[in-house]
Amino acid sequence: MKTVQEIIESGILEEYVLGVLSDAENQEVESYMQQYPEIKQEVSEIQEILYQYSLQYQQSPRPELKNEILAQIEARNESLPVQEPSKSIPFMAYTGILLGIILSLTFAILWQNEIKNTKKLQLQLQNAKNEHNTCENAYKELKKAHDELIINDKNCHIMAKLKDEKANTCIATIYWSHLTKQTYYKIEQMPKLPENKVCRLWCISNKTPIDAGLLKNTDQGLKVVEPKCDNIEAFAVTIEDKAGENRTAPPRPDEIFIYTPVHKE
C-alpha cells in the first residue's frame, strides 16, 4: 500500500492533470483523491500551477486567422475547389498553439518537481542542522560534567593560579591529577592584548621551558596541557608577537609576563 507521500512523489498526479493516463489509471488517481484529502489538494495545486504557467506562455492567434477560417467555410458552402495544401495555414497555426501549450505544461511540471525537490532538500538541511545543534548541546553538557568531575576529584588539586598582578586578576587556574598524571588549565580572564599580540603557556620542567600552546579567549572549560610533563616546577605566560605563533625557540626574559611556581602537595 502506497503512502500519501509516495503517491505525490511518483509523478502520477501530474500525468493525471495532463490527461495522459489510461482509464484504469485515472480511476486509481480519482480513488486516491476520494480517500486522501491531501491528494485532492495536491491535484488542485498542480492544476493551478499549470494554468498559471500556461497563461504566461500562451500565444494569441494571428488577427487575420479568423477571416481566413470564415473565408474557407464560405468557399466550401459555395462548392468551390478545395484549397491548395499551401493554404492550410490555419491548421498549422492551431498545431503550433497546441504544441506551445503542451511544452508550457511540460515545463510547468518540471518546474513544480524542482520546487518539490528544493523543499525536500531544505527540510533535510534543517533536520541536519537540528541534529547538529542537539549533538553540540549534548557535547557541551558532557564536557561540563567531565570538567566538574575532574575539579571535584579528591585526586586532583590546584597546582598554580596564573595571576596578572597589575590588573589584580587571575588569567588561568592550573589543575593536576594524581591519578592520571595529567595537567589541565581553565581560563578565568584573559588580559586585553593588542591585535598583534598573543599569550602562550609554558611548563617549566627540570628548568626547561616546554611550550604548552596559546591561551585564547575562546577557550571554554578545562583544557589539557600537552605534552604531558613530569616534575613540573613552575608555569610561565609570555606575551609575544602573533606572527610567531608557531615558534620553537624558548621564551626570552623580556617576553615573560607571569612566572608562578607550582604548589607542592
Would you kindly state where each structural domain of the chain is located, as residue ranges? 4-131, 156-261
List the grid coordinates of 168.
589584580
Q: Is the pLDDT of residue 37 over 60?
A: yes
The lowest-confidence range among 16-20, 33-37, 106-110 is 106-110
Q: What is the model's pLDDT at position 132?
A: 87
Band of residue 55 on the pLDDT scale cut at 50, 70, 90: low
Q: How far is 183 from 204, CA to CA, in rounded Å?
A: 13
Q: Which amino acid is at 161?
A: K
Q: What is the model's pLDDT at position 255?
A: 83
Task: For residues 120-149, give the mean pLDDT.
Answer: 83
- The secondary structure of the chain in percent helix, strand, coil, rounded to multiples of 5, reads 50, 20, 30
Band of residue 61 on the pLDDT scale cut at 50, 70, 90: low
Q: How far is 210 from 232, CA to CA, in rounded Å?
A: 10
Non-local (6+) Cβ contacts of 29 within 8 A are 12, 13, 16, 21, 39, 43
Task: For residues 155-175, give the mean pLDDT.
Answer: 86
Report the interhelical angle of 23-35 vs 37-57 (nearest 10°).
120
Q: Which amino acid is at 88?
A: S
Using a cut of 0.75, tell me whether the model's pTM lies above it: no
On the CB side of 4, how many CA atoms lie within 13 Å of its CA? Answer: 11
- Strand order of the β-sheet with 222-224 is 156-164, 169-177, 183-187, 222-224
